[in-house]
Amino acid sequence: MEFSQRILDTPSSFIRNILKVTDSPNVISFAGGLPNPISFPVEKLRESVNRAIDEDGSKLFQYSTTTGYAPLRQYIADKYNHNFDLGITADDIIITTGSQQALTLLGQVLVNEGDGIIIEEPGYLGAIQAFMLAQPTFYPVTLEQDGLNLDELKEALEKPNAKFIYTVPNFQNPTGLTYTQEKRDAVYDILKDYPDIVLIEDDPYGELRFEGTALPYIGGGRLPNSVILGSFSKTVAPGMRIGFIISKNKELMTHVETAKQAADLHTNIFSQYVLHDYLTHNEYKEHVEKIIDLYGKQANAMLDALEKYMPEGVTWTKPEGGMFIWATLPDNKSALDMFSKAMEADIAFVPGDPFYTGSQHVPTLRLNYTASTPEVIDEGIKRLAELFKKY
Amino acid sequence: MEFSQRILDTPSSFIRNILKVTDSPNVISFAGGLPNPISFPVEKLRESVNRAIDEDGSKLFQYSTTTGYAPLRQYIADKYNHNFDLGITADDIIITTGSQQALTLLGQVLVNEGDGIIIEEPGYLGAIQAFMLAQPTFYPVTLEQDGLNLDELKEALEKPNAKFIYTVPNFQNPTGLTYTQEKRDAVYDILKDYPDIVLIEDDPYGELRFEGTALPYIGGGRLPNSVILGSFSKTVAPGMRIGFIISKNKELMTHVETAKQAADLHTNIFSQYVLHDYLTHNEYKEHVEKIIDLYGKQANAMLDALEKYMPEGVTWTKPEGGMFIWATLPDNKSALDMFSKAMEADIAFVPGDPFYTGSQHVPTLRLNYTASTPEVIDEGIKRLAELFKKY
């Protein structure tokens, strides 16, 4: 049996692969990217299932429209108009099977083999994997403390056949970094002269801000080729796989709809009804506040432990929200080499390599704080610091 | 904005597009392909949600494995081993977001641009759409009353870069035809000399047999490159989007898993838990018997009405199960031309065209009987017959 070039070129997920070893009960794992299950509103969702079945019965279980459950799309439109003044309607939204599916659909719809994708370096590895299926050329642009490096961005925009830019503007995965207002405006100013290049702002963590104030999107609401991706995975429940694409570009959305028909006809409508019922019968804002409080404490516990234990030369980001801290080892030490030693000491993280489209044996690593208690975080960072001192 | 060649080449679903006009309450529609919602076990599924939450709580809502919920995969393996002696394990199964997703994943994993796909003519239009995204060359093989035309199959197998054969062996969509035992054996005899070519048997309707006895798969259980696709959409509920791929080829399944990671990380785990609970706490066989009884009566009502009303020269298939009858107009009259006239008379069907990869203005049409009562079926076929007499 011969396989396609696109699948031979596409790496399987490093994180999903190491989960098999990092999942052992002895291991303190900062490797995952899982929301804390104590944040899932299980009983409220149960109530919503029962109420939605009472109200709509068999409609929850029938085939449905490809674009998604209209009242859920309306809820999302209202929320984004209220929070960000985007001026969108329900028709500017397609519900996807998690925002991961949105990444694959956009790659399929926009990219011919060899076309350019401009991506943050380091960038979200799930996006790299999804885009690989379209066999692109990646143009990485360094993600600095305040956002994309502008000179590199300008250079990348001049590359032949660059089709879109992929960004995670808030509490980025893997770095936890957030674009400043100044950097958002500077990126916008550059992009407004490239009306054919799509700006994708993937924002699954935006609501989980425990410090500072929410900032407007870079392109959302003001660039004609703006695409915003959102998700309920980090605020309600990832297991239901409900994300969405927002774009006012009708032609793009028509093609995305066709690609989604081919991909899975439509997103699980049972879960869409349940989620919509949940959102409209509960104090969603209060629920999110609880998650923010939880993650803020966990982030602080990790930052305190890093400060307390880490040897000189190790540096790290200070996230204002989201789920991740990004650490850098001194002397260009390979974090991937350190990974197997860490596993021997029953402590896990994600080495930086899979977040880069070019570089290997980078000295960076991703630490997740949302899946461990402050006590476990302290113990884990202590073990990690001892290791970094030793090698 | 420029779009990819693959999406420009991919048609949007003819059926999903006409649903907007055929959905009007005045229209008698035989155009859909919807299971009858009275067959959905709504109250049993509600019980399963509540029981599954009691037992597994937040696990229903967390991220999960790409291959799918292990107990559900085990249930499927046991069932197929029992019914078809396939000798498979849970590891030979990947749960997909409906069997539609399986089609897209297989196209992505197996087909480079221009590679060959051998497909029944007429064939399932959702499969044609899914495969188009991989930019293949289609080699259509005529589907006759008893299965594929063997001479055309042999010829197609000799084409350069033919990668797989796509079949629906039981109550095919769109024709309702079923491969006979003799034809299954003859196809197997030919294919066993082509070990590099994958045989896909897509079988969403197989359990819905209201006449005759179940037949073994063509390749399943005996061809090394066999792939069977299954679904719970036609027997439990399509809205939960749960299908599956069965194959003993490890290399293929590893690539499918990577493509699925990129596509949507994993299938909705909430629904997988609920479905597994439903399957293991209810008399599934009795439930399916009720659907068979319902659809058998509806099929007979349509066959009787066709016999009673249709003018001479119109012919149709006599399905032993499933959801569709396929009619052929005399004198090569275009069913597509007839479609708009039918809509004026408030009667809808699917003209044959979208089921062909080459031909246009074919004289064939698909009639679905599962969504209408026997009385409505009688009235609808009467209207249709009057139309066919007139033009």
Q: Which residue has tokens 């659907």? A: B291
Q: What angle do CA B221, B225, B231 make, to 5 degrees?
A: 65
CA-based nearest residue to A129, from A29, A34, A17: A17
| A282: pLDDT strictly greater than 80 | yes
Residue A37 tokens read as 């299950």
**Percentage, residues of chain B above pLDDT 70:** 100
Pairing of strands A242-246, A226-231: antiparallel
| Predicted confidence band of residue B36 (pLDDT cuts 50, 70, 90) | very high
Those of residues 92-131 in A touching chain B at CB distance below 8 A are 97-98, 100-101, 103-104, 108-113, 115, 126, 129-130
Which tokens hold the place of B192? Answer: 């066993």
Q: How confident is the model at residue A274 (pLDDT cuts 50, 70, 90)?
A: very high
Chain B residues touching A251 at Cβ < 8 A: 1, 3
Q: Which pLDDT belongs to residue B120?
A: 98
Any CB–CB contact under 8 A between B150 and chain A? no
Band (pLDDT 50/70/90 cuts) for residue A327 is very high
User: Which of A140, A137, A138 is CA-nearest to residue A114?
Assistant: A137
CB contact under 8 A, A3 and B255: yes
- Residue B309 has what DSSP assignment? H
A74-131 pLDDT tens trace: 999 999 999 999 999 999 999 999 999 999 999 999 999 999 999 999 999 999 999 9
> Residue A19's pLDDT band (boundaries 50, 70, 90)?
confident
d(CA B97, CA B87): 24
ipTM of the complex model: 0.96
Token code pair at residue A119: 């991506």
Q: Is B57 on the interface with A (CB under 8 A)?
A: yes
Under 8 Å between Cβ of B80 and B92: no
The closest alpha carbon to B209, from B114, B295, B269, B133, belongs to B295
Nearest alpha-carbon partner for B88 in B261, B222, B254:
B222
Cα–Cα distance for residue pair A52/A117, rounded to 1 Å: 42
The residue of chain B nearest to residue A242, with distances taken between CA atoms, is B268
Residues of A within 8 A of B252 (CB-CB) are 1, 3
Q: Which residue's structure tokens are 């006599």?
A: B318
- Encode pLDDT of B130-183 as tens digits: 999 999 999 999 999 999 999 999 999 999 899 999 999 999 999 999 999 999
Q: Which two tokens stand for residue A233?
A: 């995975």
Q: Can you spell out the DSSP letters for A158-211?
A: TSTTEEEEEE--SS-TTT-----HHHHHHHHHHHTT-TTSEEEEE-SSTT-B-S
Inspect the interface and report whether the beta carbons of A239 and B269 lie closer than 8 Å: yes
Q: Is the pLDDT of residue A22 over 80?
A: no
Residue A183 at interface with chain B, using a CB cutoff of 8 Å: no
How do strand A116-121 and strand A162-167 relate by DSSP bridges? Answer: parallel
Contact B50 A53 (CB under 8 A): no
Query: Coil, strand, or helix at residue B244?
Result: strand
* A16 pLDDT higher than 80: no
Q: What is the mean pLDDT of chain B?
A: 96
Distance CA B11, CA B113 (A): 17
Contact of B167 with B120, CB cutoff 8 Å = yes
Given A35, A100, A268, which is nearest B240 (Cβ)?
Answer: A268
- Closest partner CB to A265 (pick from B100, B111, B225): B100
pLDDT band at A34 (very low <50, low <70, confident <90, very high): very high
- Going from the N-terminus, what domains does chain A have, and what CATH number goes with each? 5-40+286-390 (3.90.1150.10), 59-281 (3.40.640.10)
Give residue A17's pLDDT: 77
